[in-house]
Amino acid sequence: MAESTIWWLLAGSAVLLELLTGTFYLLMLAVGMAAAALAAHAGGGQVIQLVVAAIVGGGAVVVFYLIKKRRPADPSARADRSVNLDVGETVQVETWNPDGSASVHYRGATWTAIHRPGVTPSAGAHRVAELIGSRLLVDKI
């Protein structure tokens, strides 16, 4: 069996394993194996093929990791409007309790509202920023 065929089979196996596990890094390693198969087609020796596979596959993993790390993190489900429809709604806070909570009427029920740590509470209109358990974390509008 030709060396390039072995590399193509390894690349296909890595893609199959990636489809089963959902690990995107295996796809990057499969790209490296495909590059090694192309190096074998070009007549490169085993050492050249291994170096090409390592550089291309490892380089793709590093580049993908750096791009993923630089991207801002997804908001938590508690603060994501597409998951929790209460986020972004407005409530009216009449008075704050000494413990930093307030009772607000929202959606026909009485809810407990809290403010962010370090923020001085004040009465008025507030926007729901996050749902923490059964309490609304609110920001002043």
pLDDT tens digits for 101-139? 999 998 888 999 999 888 888 889 999 988 888 899 999
pTM: 0.56
Average pLDDT, the chain: 90
- Length of the chain, please? 141
Q: Is 21 helix (H, G, I), strand (E, B) or coil?
A: helix
Tell me which range, 31-35, 84-88, 110-114, is most confidently predicted by mean pLDDT: 31-35
**pLDDT at residue 107, as a whole number:** 87
Instruction: Give the C-alpha separation, 118 to 9, whole Å.
Output: 58
Q: Which CATH superfamily is domain 77-140 in?
A: Nucleic acid-binding proteins (2.40.50.140)
Q: Where are the domains of the chain?
A: 3-70, 77-140
